[in-house]
């Protein structure tokens, strides 16, 4: 066991020597670091969770265990591991457990370490498994940081391209980079090597399904699981229910569809946006909208991007809202449909208050499109009593007055920039 832990220390030290892009979550992670509760960093595979944890602890004496290592899992024993950690990392102050959900019975061991005073940082790629297991043994004694692939601002910073521009040529270049981000996504590994996007994300998509779902949950109907995943991917931003999806795919069990879509959500591959309602029962029964964790997956699975440009923009805005802290589990983000079936893409709530409503429309130049988007937003705003209204476009900007409401039409680049300054405040 000591040999395994020593080898992992070498890997840790090598990772620490690399210079990384600082993430927006870094400040929160450092703030949490010295607190007693467990620090839980969750998010999709390859989003940068391990890097954030390493950055968080880089100036501290910390031990490291990576549970993506088959050798560690095969030979794991609590006593042997704890002894090896003490020998390889004498006097360590923190313990970093990477992808700990791969270890059977991990939560009971973590509870024991916690009771013994070990200050822990844990990363993992299964949201439900981690939070449910920790809640069962350590109720209220952990703090969660969610990390997704690069936000637009992180992506632009990583490439050294400013979002804030001064000349038309700079604006054009910034828009070109944002268009690339909208199409290829924000996984750190592909930001500077876009040519690998298709192969890299296609392989990652398969790894998530096979390793994090099929293997973990012992799924036998692998083809049906892929059918559900591929349908959700090809219908991103569309409404769905387990019943309608089962019918469309010719699956006899609605329960199986519910189970598979839940697994896909737990791994962060897909997220499902609920319909806003003041009645929780009605909200849970309504169809949800499906979104992909990163736009690059859409390209990786060979969908035609040109015909989906408006949907890509909407999916990107959804991702950006999640990265700013809106939490679906806490019912802070919704879509809304009025009594007359007019729809608004995003309703952002803080507590019980609807604080803003956002419509996404790639191009509003056509009079019919403009009328539809404005009237839908105003009607929905009237029913929800919200006056903070936005339409995010690709490059159009204006202020629209309609029926006593003021709507700010904002180009994507400016929304991203102003959001970082509080225009759509970080939640």
Residue with tokens 């690998």: 196
Phi, psi (5° rounding) for residue 404? 85, 0
Cα three-residue angle 142-144-147, rounded to 5 degrees: 155
Q: How far is CA 323 from CA 230, 297, 316, 331, 382, in A?
A: 24, 18, 10, 15, 28
pLDDT for 427: 45
pLDDT for 343: 97
pLDDT for 397: 96
Section 263-283 average pLDDT: 90
pLDDT for 305: 62
Q: Are β-strands 62-66 and 94-98 bridged in parallel, bridged antiparallel, or unpaired?
A: parallel
* Structure letter (DSSP) for residue 41: E
For residues 240 and 288, the answer to whether their CB atoms sit within 8 Å is: yes
Section 36-55 average pLDDT: 93
Domain ranges in the chain are: 2-146, 150-310, 324-427
Section 308-336 average pLDDT: 93
Q: Is the pLDDT of residue 76 over 70?
A: yes
Section 366-372 average pLDDT: 97
For residues 78 and 173, the answer to whether their CB atoms sit within 8 Å is: no
Q: Is the pLDDT of residue 231 over 80?
A: yes
pLDDT for 24: 86
pTM of the model: 0.92
Q: Are β-strands 405-411 and 398-402 bridged in parallel, bridged antiparallel, or unpaired?
A: antiparallel
Reported as a single tens digit per residue, the pLDDT across 6-17 is 999 999 999 999
pLDDT for 306: 61
Where would I find the H helices in 197-354? 197-207, 216-217, 222-234, 242-249, 254-266, 280-285, 296-300, 309-323
Band of residue 420 on the pLDDT scale cut at 50, 70, 90: low
pLDDT for 126: 83
Section 394-414 average pLDDT: 96
Encoded tokens for 138: 């350590």
Section 377-382 average pLDDT: 98
For residues 292 and 270, the answer to whether their CB atoms sit within 8 Å is: yes
Q: Is the pLDDT of residue 152 over 50?
A: yes
Section 321-342 average pLDDT: 92
Phi, psi (5° rounding) for residue 107? -65, -35
Band of residue 81 on the pLDDT scale cut at 50, 70, 90: very high
Average pLDDT, the chain: 91
- Which CATH number applies to 2-146: 3.40.50.300, 1.10.220.70, 3.40.190.10, 2.30.30.100? 3.40.50.300
Beta strands in 276-411, from DSSP E residues, in sequence order: 288-292, 333-337, 343-350, 353-360, 389-393, 398-402, 405-411
Q: Is the pLDDT of residue 412 over 80?
A: yes
Section 332-342 average pLDDT: 96
Residues 415, 293, 11, 133: is their CA dihedral positive or negative? positive
Reported as a single tens digit per residue, the pLDDT across 280-290 is 778 778 999 99
Band of residue 422 on the pLDDT scale cut at 50, 70, 90: very low
Reported as a single tens digit per residue, the pLDDT across 179-225 is 999 999 999 999 999 999 999 999 999 999 999 999 989 999 999 99
**Higher pLDDT, residue 307 or 334:** 334
Q: Helix, strand or coil for residue 176?
A: helix
């Amino acid at each position: 066991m000591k040999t395994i832990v020593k080898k992992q220390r070498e890997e840790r030290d090598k990772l620490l020597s690399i210079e990384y892009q600082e993430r927006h979550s870094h400040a929160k992670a450092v703030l949490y670091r010295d607190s007693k509760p467990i620090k839980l960093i969750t998010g999709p595979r390859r989003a940068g969770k391990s890097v954030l944890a390493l950055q968080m602890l880089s100036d501290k004496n910390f031990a490291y265990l990576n549970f993506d290592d088959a050798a560690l899992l095969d030979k794991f024993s609590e006593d042997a591991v704890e002894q090896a950690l003490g020998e390889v990392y004498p006097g360590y102050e923190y313990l970093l457990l990477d992808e700990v959900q791969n270890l059977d019975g991990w939560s009971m061991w973590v509870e024991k370490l916690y009771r013994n005073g070990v200050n822990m940082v844990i990363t993992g790629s299964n949201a439900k498994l981690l939070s449910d297991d920790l809640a069962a043994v350590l109720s209220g004694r952990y703090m969660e940081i969610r990390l997704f692939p690069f936000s637009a601002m992180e992506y632009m910073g990583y490439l050294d391209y400013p979002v804030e521009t001064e000349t038309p040529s700079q604006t054009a270049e910034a828009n070109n980079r944002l268009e690339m981000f909208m199409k290829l996504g924000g996984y750190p590994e592909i930001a500077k090597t876009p040519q690998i996007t298709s192969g890299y994300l296609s392989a990652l998509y398969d790894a998530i399904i096979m390793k994090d779902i099929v293997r973990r949950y012992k799924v036998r109907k692998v083809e049906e699981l892929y059918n559900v995943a591929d349908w959700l991917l090809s219908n991103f931003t569309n409404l769905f229910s387990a019943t309608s999806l089962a019918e469309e795919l010719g699956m006899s069990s609605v329960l199986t569809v519910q189970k598979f879509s839940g697994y896909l959500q737990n791994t962060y591959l897909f997220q499902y946006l609920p319909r806003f309602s003041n009645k929780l029962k009605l909200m849970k029964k309504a169809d949800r909208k499906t979104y992909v964790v990163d736009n690059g997956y859409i390209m990786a699975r060979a969908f035609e991007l040109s015909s989906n440009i408006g949907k890509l923009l909407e999916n990107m805005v959804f991702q950006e809202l999640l990265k700013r802290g809106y939490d679906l589990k806490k019912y802070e983000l919704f879509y809304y449909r009025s009594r007359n079936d007019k729809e608004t893409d995003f309703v952002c709530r803080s507590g019980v208050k609807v604080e803003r409503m956002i419509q996404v429309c790639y191009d509003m130049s056509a009079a019919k499109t403009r009328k539809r988007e404005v009237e839908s937003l105003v009607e929905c705003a009237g029913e929800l009593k919200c006056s903070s209204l936005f339409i995010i476009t690709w490059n159009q900007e204006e202020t629209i007055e309609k029926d006593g409401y003021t709507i700010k039409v904002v180009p994507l680049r400016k929304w991203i920039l102003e959001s970082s300054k509080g225009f759509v405040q970080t939640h």
